[in-house]
Amino acid sequence: MKELSTSYRKHIFVCTNDRLEGSCCNKVNGYGIFHALKEYVLSNGLANAVWVTRTGCLGFCNDIGTTVVLYPEKKWFTKVTKDDLPKIIEEIHKRMVL
């Protein structure tokens, strides 16, 4: 095992889980939210400070929007849609010294 040290100050997890039946984040634009946040981070010079990762099921399946988690704040957002992206972006910048 090797321990790594990184320059990341925040880590964003976006559920993109896909199920054949029932609710899942893929069916409510999980990939779209993931790509939008990833693009925001890249286009605003935050790639060395913010890591955006897509995940499997985070356990809050619904028919409205995806689940997003911000670390180190441990903030969980469920039912996230494109309309919620400004709030998520605001959270990315809180208490962040670049």
Q: What's the CATH architecture for 10-93?
A: 3-Layer(aba) Sandwich (3.40)
The model's pTM is 0.90
Other residues' Cβ atoms within 10 Å of the Cβ of residue 91: 17
Q: Where are the domains of the chain?
A: 10-93
> What are the tens digits of pLDDT across the range 35-52?
999 999 999 999 999 999
Other residues' Cβ atoms within 10 Å of the Cβ of residue 98: 9
Question: In this predicted structure, what is the pLDDT of residue 55?
Answer: 97
> What are the tens digits of pLDDT across the range 3-38?
877 778 899 999 999 988 888 999 999 999 999 999
End-to-end Cα spacing for the chain: 30
Q: How far apart are CA 85 and CA 40, in angstroms?
A: 10
